[in-house]
Amino acid sequence: MPPERTYDLVLFGATGFTGSLTAEYLARHAPPELRWALAGRNPDKLAAVRSRLAVIDSALAELPLLTADVTDSASLLTVAEHARVVASTVGPYTHHGEPLVAACAAAGTDYLDITGEPEFVDLMYVRHHETAVRTGARLVHTCGFDSIPYDLGVWFTLKQLPADAPISVDGFVRAGGRFSGGTYRSVLTAFSRTGEASRAAAARRAVEPRPEGRRARAVSGRTARSPELGMWVVPLPTIDPQVVRRSAAARPEYGPDFRYRHFAAVRRLPTLLAGAAGIAAVTGLVKLPPTRRWLFGRVSPGQGPSPEQRARSWFQLQFLAESGGQQVRTEVAGGDPGYDETAKMLAESALCLALDDLPPTNGQVTPVTAMGDALLDRLQRAGITFRMR
């Protein structure tokens, strides 16, 4: 990375709900020598965020502010050309994300985001991976609750198993928390674009190479009562299993034949049935223009759960894994998944890309592929639990 860049790290979207929390986390935890800046489209809102950061650390009263808008490609290229790493919380990414990815890929600048939108990630692979490989940029999507705990949780689990035999891992998630306006709109956007997402996945499959001499799969499980967990488990078709599979395809540590299945776990059958009915209803309603308008109008961008609500939020993942006749059970757990912990995961990932000694990678890469052990170490030190059960 060229040493002459002005900033080690730029946080784009610092005025949003998750962006502000990420800025506050950086204000508390970034090393003093980090050269960082806030970016966004509204200079007054950026200045207000900076004033709050100056209460945490008075030296941040002079933190540089960069004005950039996703509708103005030149402003994004200026940000990308002056930074070594850009972290973006500007979503829904399907609507707002591509211009910054394009700018970072072109400028050879490392890029991170917290998207959970599969269509966006697949299209960015098809359109910008090759450019990023050429310029040396690392494009690391899904650095929030989607998909860091799963990607790093499986990585942690593998360390407890022999890697010379086929490995199978089942991941189970339980969580309690509330959505922000930005997440709500991103989820609705993804639900309204299932056809587009399938076409983006097919376009990616047509061009993405497969690992040679090894297998890496994410397969769907079945709804069932799990005797090991004592809970109902239901397959969860989020982006997370795709991210785990891509890490497995990229890294030999996942062994000759790796298989992952991804589930939500609930204690009571009625909760499972109510959840499934709710998802089916929203998926249907969001496809019709009048009900789509009504759904999008329910929550405004920029809003999110209060500190008290976040303090009551939590997540717990369990992984049951088997290799060569050996079985292990691991856990990843933490606080508010959507916002406090997502801000922590994004900030630590950005610091990791900017500051840590990492294996050489480029193009679109998963969190594990780009950062592996260095990020695992950072997350553990930042208070996220990774442990054997």
Ligand X SMILES: NC(=O)c1ccc[n+]([C@@H]2O[C@H](COP(=O)([O-])OP(=O)(O)OC[C@H]3O[C@@H](n4cnc5c(N)ncnc54)[C@H](OP(=O)(O)O)[C@@H]3O)[C@@H](O)[C@H]2O)c1
Residues that bind ligand X (CB under 6 A): 13, 15-19, 40-42, 45, 69-71, 89-93, 96, 114, 116, 144-146, 180-183, 186, 301-302, 304, 338-339, 342
Q: Least distance (Å) from ligand X to the CB of residue 31?
A: 25
Q: Least distance (Å) from ligand X to the CB of residue 26?
A: 15
Helix (H) or strand (E) holding 27: helix 17-29
Q: Are 53 and 24 in contact (CB under 8 A)?
A: yes
Question: Closer CB to ligand X, residue 92 or residue 367?
Answer: 92
379 exposure class (CB count in 10 Å sphere: 0-12, 13-18, 19+): buried
Question: Closer CB to ligand X, residue 175 or residue 216?
Answer: 175
Alpha-carbon span 238 to 198, nearest angstrom: 13
Q: Least distance (Å) from ligand X to the CB of residue 111?
A: 14
Q: Least distance (Å) from ligand X to the CB of residue 19?
A: 5
Strand order in the sheet with 83-88: 65-67, 36-40, 7-12, 83-88, 110-113, 138-140, 363-364
Question: Closer CB to ligand X, residue 90 or residue 353?
Answer: 90
- Pair of tokens at residue 151: 């990607």
Question: Closer CB to ligand X, residue 167 or residue 332?
Answer: 332
Give all strands (DSSP E) within 30-149, no chain letters. Answer: 36-40, 65-67, 83-88, 110-113, 138-140
Question: Closer CB to ligand X, residue 93 or residue 191?
Answer: 93
Alpha-carbon span 30 to 49, nearest angstrom: 16
Q: Least distance (Å) from ligand X to the CB of residue 201?
A: 19
- Pair of tokens at residue 98: 């591509």
Question: Closer CB to ligand X, residue 110 or residue 340?
Answer: 340
Q: Least distance (Å) from ligand X to the CB of residue 121?
A: 11
